[in-house]
Amino acid sequence: MAVAFDEMNIPGGDLRPAYQELARWLKETPPEALEYRRQEAELLFRRIGITFAVYGDSESTERLIPFDVIPRIMSGKEWGVLEKGLKQRVKALNMFLRDVYHGRDILRAGIVPEDLIFQNPVFRPEMNGQQVPHDVYVHIAGIDIVRVDSNDFIVLEDNARTPSGVSYMLENREIMMRLFPDLFARHRVAPVERYPDELLSALRSVAPLSASGEPTVALLTPGVYNSAYYEHSFLADKLGIELVEGRDLIVKNNEVFMRTTEGLKRVDVIYRRVDDDFLDPLTFRPDSALGVPGLMSAYAAGNITLANAVGTGIADDKAIYSYMPDIVKFYLGEEPVLKNVQTWRCRESKDLAYVLDHLSELVVKEVHGSGGYGMLIGPAATKATIEAFREKLKREPEGFIAQPTLALSTCPTCTASGLAPRHVDLRPFVLTGSKSTTIVPGGLTRVALKEGSLVVNSSQGGGTKDTWILDE
Amino acid sequence: MLSRTAENLYWLARYVERAEYLARTIDATLRVTALPAAYIGKTNEWDSALLTAGVAASFYQTYEEANEHNVVDYLSFSVDNPSSIRNCIEAARLNSRSVRTALTSEMWDTINSAWIELQAVWSKGTSTREDLAKFLRFVQETSLRFDGSAYRTMLRNDAYWFSRLGLHLERADNTARILDVKYHVLLPEEEHVGGPLDFYQWSSILRSVSALTAYHWVYRETLKPWLVADLLILNSTLPRSLASCYDNLVRNLDQIGVAYGRQGPAQRHARGIRNRLEHSNMNDIFQHGVHEFIQEFITDNSRLGEIITKQYLI
């Protein structure tokens, strides 16, 4: 594995320009002061109630995501490149989805194999030929980005279903501004606080034609026991929209209403944080208590906008991921600005053979997995784990892809033994409305707090950092 | 506003109010039982604490005897008692989490901090009187902070009104329950009227609704049972009196009615109870029978809860 790219230090002892002021500040600040404010930050998080639930963990049902007080800093120029690449990628994702559920040009052109679409459990035949309002499928995308050198941004994963984490981006900033006003005063950090406004206008812009001039938007949550519930309530609050559960909604004459103290009120746009499978027990899982019976027929009748649309899973599937560079070229006729990680498709026998031969060097992921569950990190795994995984892989090769173990870039991070480099990734949030695509400068930086660890997922012991884009 | 949100706000306020009432009940019972037996007679004060809390039946399923240790534990910390203080705070927090968008950050902070403290400091109960006193103060302060932050920070709209409805309905129920359990010591024809025994019983009742000082301000008299009853039932200047609770219930229901442009059975029912309180005097009530009066009130009051639920919350 190559030496990781250090985002602060240039080999040889110099600092990258974006970090110079931070380094000066760190020199002036005694370690105790830093530790004190770190504790204060934790207290604030707990009091505000920014917690998440870890599934399968009965000990403590609510946990804090560790927050690292050292910001991750990027120059405006770097951000400019990233922004261009993200807009391009999300545009292609939306065009791909529209195509997959309508004309299927890309299948006929032989760019993406048919069976990968039609035999994919996240493909929704219900969406075939269905018009979605304003042709937008992915209103909110979270694209996971990593760096391995100073030149390139690499997409690790596209999240086109119900990406989470944006509340941490916003709250991390709030807390940093509260705890480190002096550090802020020494930088020009681009603000992120417009995100809720931009999200609301994006959601309103995609209201169905049958909506009134002032469309009603609601956020649909699975409820308080969902791991991301805090985020749902946070966003509903910031947007000033109702936070609804399935039982608050009812479908009548193919229109969706919420039950209010004044009777039924029509809803035009649902920002749903409930998975496709649970949305409507009449169409999908009949045992779902989280959904709204009849929602899909209101959707088909064009009376409600779901954000994101149903069936977007087919675009962020890890098996489709490996085709993204071709997808971008096919729809936009442009070279992709953001690179992909080299990916072996275990469904192809040549690739599978290579993967089986190199398991100890590779990261193997489930095609439909997320959250860092069910993956093998070759270099860190024991022999027994690798052998067990080998069997799984042979049994069901089409369920997996493999990638080289990337040396994710590092940022200085508070550890028990002082500041030390830790691996990070970045999830910026891309909003698509009827007219435009916007991204607030920044995103959620996740950091693997364990020394040498490459897993940044909060469910696997990762933490977060505030992400600063310098406004030069 | 969502019916579910209104329902959560309503219950949130009820739970907080109930927790405070339980804390006051324990506090008042501790005081009375600290007196020599000659002053309080043979009644088991811990038993009446259970009765006023409405949990006597379930208590005796687990315990044989109502004594300080058992009752304090059951009312404060028990996981099995659905309306123990601990469970009230837990339920209040769960309700708060479900309606965070309708709460101000001050209100959320109050409930969430209380829940954190409950787990960090009070998860094992209390072992000394001093600890218990601290715990009871913590519960009362939580309620004061919650109420205060609602009053000072909430928009005056339906969210506020529904939370007030929960508070006053619960409060009326609590006051009525004390009266129901203690009505016999308020009867003027009891033979030992004016004895030291009753004095402490009366002051204990007043203390449990934080009205001991108020009594003296209102009547400028020594404690007299019919005045205690008058204060708790009919005097609308006392925030915990039945009359005051109903002034508030009617006002908040009217505000909802105006905002929504229509009234319903909840408004009519509340107004009916308020009118009856307004046109009663203690003489009539004693003639009619205090016990019967209170029993009727408790039934009417919980009926209002059902009507509000049906009209707005489901």
Q: Is the pLDDT of residue A30 over 60?
A: yes
pLDDT of residue A340: 94
Q: Which of B1, B100, B105 sits opposite A260 (nearest CB)?
A: B1
Which residues have CB under 8 Å from B292's CB, separation 6+? none
pLDDT of residue A56: 60
Report yes or no on whether pTM surpasses 0.90. no
pLDDT single digits (tens) A266-309: 999 999 999 999 999 999 998 888 999 999 999 999 999 999 99
Q: Is the pLDDT of residue B193 over 50?
A: no
Question: Which residue in the block uniquely carries the two structure tokens 């009856």?
Answer: B276
A261/B101 Cβ within 8 A: no
Q: Is the pLDDT of residue A32 over 90?
A: no
Give the pLDDT mean for B158-169. Answer: 97
Question: What is the least distance, in Å, from the CA of B245 to any CA of chain A?
Answer: 22
Q: Is A244 on the interface with B (CB under 8 A)?
A: yes
Q: Is A6 on the interface with B (CB under 8 A)?
A: no
CB pairs under 8 A between A and B: 56
Q: Is the pLDDT of residue B184 over 90?
A: no
Q: Which residues of A touch B5 (CB under 8 A)?
A: 242-243
Q: Is the pLDDT of residue B310 over 50?
A: yes
Question: Which residue in the block uniquely carries the two structure tokens 């990258």?
Answer: A16
Q: How far apart are CA A165 and CA A162, in angstroms?
A: 10
pLDDT of residue A420: 92
Q: Transcribe A345-358 into DSSP letters.
A: ETTSHHHHHHHHHT
Q: How far apart are CA A141 and CA A305, in angstroms?
A: 16
- Contact between A414 and A120 under an 8 Å Cβ cutoff? The reply is no
Q: What is the dihedral of CA A14, A17, A18, A21, to 10 degrees?
A: 80
Q: Residue A247's closest chain B neighbor by CA? A: B4
pLDDT of residue A243: 94
Q: Is A262 on the interface with B (CB under 8 A)?
A: yes
pLDDT of residue A369: 67
Q: Angle formed by the axes of helices A31-48 and A166-179, to 10°?
A: 130
Q: How far apart are CA A271 and CA A261, in angstroms?
A: 22
Q: Is the pLDDT of residue B54 over 60?
A: yes
Question: What is the least distance, in Å, from the CA of A241 to any CA of chain B?
Answer: 9
pLDDT single digits (tens) A307-357: 999 999 999 888 899 999 999 999 999 999 999 999 999 989 999 999 999
AA identity, residue B140:
Q
Give the pLDDT mean for B245-264. Answer: 96
pLDDT of residue B195: 52
Q: Is the pLDDT of residue B188 over 60?
A: no
Give the pLDDT mean for B105-109. Answer: 93
Q: Which residues of B touch A234 (CB under 8 A)?
A: 100
- The dihedrals phi and psi of A398, each to the nearest 5 degrees, come to -70, -10
Structure tokens at B29: 């019972």
Give the pLDDT mean for B198-207. Answer: 80
Q: Is the pLDDT of residue B186 over 70?
A: no
Which residues have CB under 8 Å from A424's CB, separation 6+? A7, A72, A408, A409, A410, A411, A445, A446, A447, A448, A456, A465
Q: Angle formed by the axes of helices A324-332 and A76-100, to 10°?
A: 80
- Contact between A272 and A282 under an 8 Å Cβ cutoff? The reply is no
Which residues have CB under 8 Å from A465's CB, separation 6+? A67, A68, A70, A71, A72, A172, A411, A413, A424, A445, A446, A447
The pLDDT confidence band at residue A455, using thresholds 50, 70 and 90, is confident
- Contact between A101 and A117 under an 8 Å Cβ cutoff? The reply is no
pLDDT of residue A51: 74
The pLDDT confidence band at residue B183, using thresholds 50, 70 and 90, is confident
pLDDT of residue A168: 94
Q: Which of B2, B6, B313 sits opposite A244 (nearest CB)?
A: B2
Give the pLDDT mean for B37-57. Answer: 82
Strands A242-244 and A249-252: what pairing?
unpaired
Structure tokens at A141: 């995308």
pLDDT single digits (tens) B170-181: 999 999 998 888
Instruction: Give residues 146 to 175 of B whose Cβ lies within 8 Å of A.
Output: 158, 162
Q: Which residues of A touch B258 (CB under 8 A)?
A: none
Task: For residue A166, give the nearest of A123, A208, A217, A219 by alpha carbon.
Answer: A219
Q: How far apart are CA B46 and CA A38, in angstroms?
A: 47
Task: For residue B233, give the nearest of B246, B220, B216, B223 by alpha carbon.
Answer: B246
Q: Which of B5, B97, B109 sits opposite A47 (nearest CB)?
A: B109
> Between A45 and B248, whose confidence is greater?
B248
pLDDT of residue A77: 93
A233/B100 Cβ within 8 A: yes
Give the pLDDT mean for A229-236. Answer: 92
Give percent of chain B above pLDDT 90.
Answer: 65
A244/B3 Cβ within 8 A: no
Structure tokens at A40: 């204060």
Cβ–Cβ contacts within 10 Å for residue A107, how many? 17
Q: Is the pLDDT of residue A460 over 80?
A: no
Give the pLDDT mean for B79-89. Answer: 95
Averaged pLDDT score across all residues of chain A: 91
> Between A49 and B115, whose confidence is greater?
B115
A233/B313 Cβ within 8 A: no
- Contact between A64 and A51 under an 8 Å Cβ cutoff? The reply is yes
Give percent of chain A above pLDDT 70.
Answer: 96
Averaged pLDDT score across all residues of chain B: 90
Q: Residue B6's closest chain A neighbor by CA? A: A261
Instruction: Give residues 73 to 112 of B whose Cβ lies within 8 Å of A.
Output: 94, 97-98, 100-101, 105, 108-109, 112
User: Alpha helix (H) ranges present in A214-254?
Assistant: 229-239
Q: How far apart are CA A242 and CA A258, in angstroms?
A: 9
A47/B113 Cβ within 8 A: yes
Q: How far apart are CA B15 and CA B203, in angstroms?
A: 26
In this predicted complex, what is the ipTM? Answer: 0.72
Q: How far apart are CA A425 and CA A292, in angstroms?
A: 36
pLDDT single digits (tens) A53-95: 666 655 456 778 889 999 999 999 999 999 999 999 999 999 9
B256/A247 Cβ within 8 A: no
The pLDDT confidence band at residue B196, using thresholds 50, 70 and 90, is low
Question: Which residue in the block uniquely carries the two structure tokens 């950090």?
Answer: A189
A261/B162 Cβ within 8 A: yes
Q: How far apart are CA B133 and CA A426, in angstroms?
A: 50
